[in-house]
Amino acid sequence: MASARQQPAATAPGSEPALARALGFREALSLVVGRIIGSGIFRTPGPIMALTGGATLFFGVWVLAGAMTILSALCYAEMVAMLPRSGGPYAYLKAAYPPWWAFLRGWAMFFVSETATIAAVALVFAEYARTLWEAGGGAVWPRGLETAAAAGGVWLLTWVNVRGVRAGGRAQNALTVLKLAALAAVAWVGLTAARGAAPAAAAAPLASPGGWAAVLAVGASLRYAFFAFSGWEGATYVAEEVREPERNLPRSLLLGIAVVMATYLLVNAAYLRQLGPAGMAGAKQVAADAMRSALGPAGAALIALAVVLSTFGNINAQVLVKARTWHAMARDGLFPAVFGGVHARHRTPVGALVAQGIWATVLLVAAGLAGRSYETVIDFFAFTSAVFNLSTFAAVAVLRRRLPDAPRPFRVPGWPWTLGVVLVIQAAFLVVTAITAPLPSLLGAGLTLTGLVWYFRKGRR
């Protein structure tokens, strides 16, 4: 935990308790890393290799996604340094656009994408917890127990974060260190252990697409790579609880993304060495297959432990940061007042945390009954997320025009070319997603637009 046991400012009698500035650079950095590394690196390399067909395009997709994430973080760094407010992108959209647009993003986050991401990662956590339990000789779990374990993990971490942002930050520091250590072990084993015997089909070469097919393949692959890098903006959601946010948040964003990018490239190299392109393309659980190739049955236990640590830390980061958006929206009168409650003693957004836990549990039960695939969930949210990402990045230019004299401790380097590159790539990604996943894109956008009913009938009042 970084320095200074700084206490929140005293609250006047009868006024609403304020959020406490109890997080330092170390906690902000661990939130960025912990929020990014979840289940993606253990599941998305297989679909990406199946689309790209070879190591060159495969690693090109990961490098492009990482570089794009760093450029995106430069844009966010200017806004978070200028507007260090809870809620992250919601705060920037609210300052740059009409209030209904910021509201719609928050609506989509709560009811569609963000709580669903908590549920999805919690289910992966429970799935691998079951694998670890059974590898140790435990009894086989029924499917209902997996759902219960996932919900239990969400509520345990919700309780930790209700107890105080300092407690959540300490938990995140420990979990981030453990998950990085686990991924380092996976990379080291995969790169140094002898390659196991692979089936003939897995050893066969793959054909890489060319021309327009390659463009579509890279665009579709970016959908999964961006998902693996998603969450990098997590620390901006708790800006009002970070000490010196104008300094600590930009630093944590850029360093955190660089650490994750290096880790991903090493882990993917380990997968490729053990399985080859065809083996990766045919693997639903590419990490488990790679470790089984390197270590035999013991590899399954190692990767199960790594995934449990990674996903548990990711759930904690998501629970901590996302509740701040619902709290900020309730404070602005756009969400029900119960979301805006702050715990009198712990100074945490208890109303938003509890409501988030309830809705995530509902989605967990629904997911447990439906059994939808991991890739379909990503396809469902990718288009809508890209629309809001485009408007958030464009907000840098909008705010420079609307608030030209506002203090900007950090400015986007290479202006305006950096922003231009980000917008062009995001727009291209949006178009390719609509072409390659039309039905999921329409469903996600339609569900998001239902928020306008609430806004114009109740939220606007």
- 14 CB burial (10 A radius; 0-12, 13-18, 19+): exposed
Residue-level pLDDT at 21: 66
Instruction: Give the model's pLDDT for residue 399.
Output: 93
- Of 47, 109, 126, 124, the C-alpha closest to 324 is 109
Asked whether the bond before 98 is cis by omega within 30 degrees of 0, the reply is: no
Q: Which residues of 312-344 are buried (b: 16+ CB within 10 A; e: fewer)?
A: bbbbbbbbbbbbbbbbbbbbbebbeeebbbbee
Torsion, CA 239, CA 240, CA 242, CA 243, rounded to 10: 130
What pLDDT does 200 receive? Answer: 44
Q: Are 86 and 328 in contact (CB under 8 A)?
A: yes
In angstroms, the CA 425 to CA 219 distance is: 10
- At residue 357, what are phi and psi to the nearest 5 degrees? -65, -40
d(CA 349, CA 161): 9
Alpha-carbon gap, residue 74 to 280, rounded angstroms: 33
Distance CA 176, CA 46 (A): 24
Residue 23's SS3 state is strand
Fold adopted by 25-459: Amino acid/polyamine transporter I (1.20.1740)
Q: How far apart (Å, rounded) are the C-alpha atoms in residues 423 and 23?
A: 32
The answer to whether 45 and 62 have CB atoms below 8 angstroms apart is no
Cβ contact 105:381 at 8 Å: no
Q: Are 180 and 264 in contact (CB under 8 A)?
A: no
CB atoms within 10 A of CB 134: 15
Burial class (CB in 10 A: 0-12, 13-18, 19+), 279: buried
Give the per-residue pLDDT at 46: 86
**With DSSP H G I counted as helix, E B as strand and the rest as coil, what are the percentages for the chain, rounded to 5?**
75, 0, 25
Token pair, residue 244, equals 């010196």
| Both structure tokens of 425 | 């790539």
pLDDT, block means (10 residues), the chain with 461 residues: 37 50 76 80 86 87 91 86 77 87 84 78 83 75 82 90 70 75 86 66 55 78 85 73 78 88 92 86 78 81 82 83 80 78 76 88 75 59 83 93 87 90 88 82 83 73 54
Residue 322 in contact with residue 222, Cβ under 8 Å?
A: no
Q: What gap in Å lies between CA 295 and CA 189, rounded to an integer?
A: 8
The answer to whether the CB of 81 falls within 8 A of the CB of 246 is: yes
Residue 242 bridge partners (DSSP): 23
CB atoms under 10 Å from CB of 147, counted, come to 21
Question: What is the pLDDT, as a whole number, of residue 264?
Answer: 93
